[in-house]
């Protein structure tokens, strides 16, 4: 159980997947109509593959062992949950701040990520405040 959020760490990947399957995520992907990329998002050992195809998002929870992706963002469940707090603590408010603390990592070809930086920051922040009283 994460002390700051009240959400079990094991549920962090589910929280992310629920938010990415929401209508808000579908609407948000329409804001990036030219984005085509495969993104692996890791919460502890749980990987989720996000495939963006010109304004559409397909999400896969079961990823083959040698599945290719353009870039990956990985972090521990506790780091993601701190990032998703309704009002994150200083240093936990941004993906790059978490990376600077050594709690989040970026791998692969980051050009699609940097070209659509605000989109990805907003998309990955969708779980913020969900599931907390």
Q: Please tell us whether the domain made up of 9-124 is placed in CATH 3.30.1050.10.
A: yes
Q: State mean pLDDT over 12-32.
A: 93
**Average pLDDT rounded to a whole number, residues 62-86:** 93
What are the structural domain ranges in the chain? 9-124
pLDDT for residue 2: 42
Query: E strands of 8-91, at which residues?
Result: 36-43, 46-53, 56-60, 71-75
Mean pLDDT (the chain, rounded) = 89
Task: Give the mean pLDDT of 120-129.
Answer: 93
Question: DSSP secondary-structure letter at 70?
Answer: S
């Amino acid at each position: 159980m994460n002390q700051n959020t009240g959400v079990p760490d094991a549920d962090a990947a589910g929280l992310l997947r629920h938010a990415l399957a929401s209508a808000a995520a579908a609407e948000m992907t329409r804001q990036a109509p030219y984005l085509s990329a495969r993104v692996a998002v890791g919460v502890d050992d749980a990987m989720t593959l996000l495939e963006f195809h010109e304004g559409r998002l397909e999400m896969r929870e079961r990823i083959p062992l040698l599945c290719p992706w353009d870039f990956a963002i990985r972090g521990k469940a506790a780091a993601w949950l701190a990032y998703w707090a309704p009002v994150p603590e200083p240093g936990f408010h941004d993906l790059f701040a978490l990376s600077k603390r050594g709690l989040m990592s970026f791998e692969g070809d980051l050009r699609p990520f940097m070209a659509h930086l605000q989109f990805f920051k907003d998309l990955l922040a969708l779980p913020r405040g969900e599931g907390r009283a």
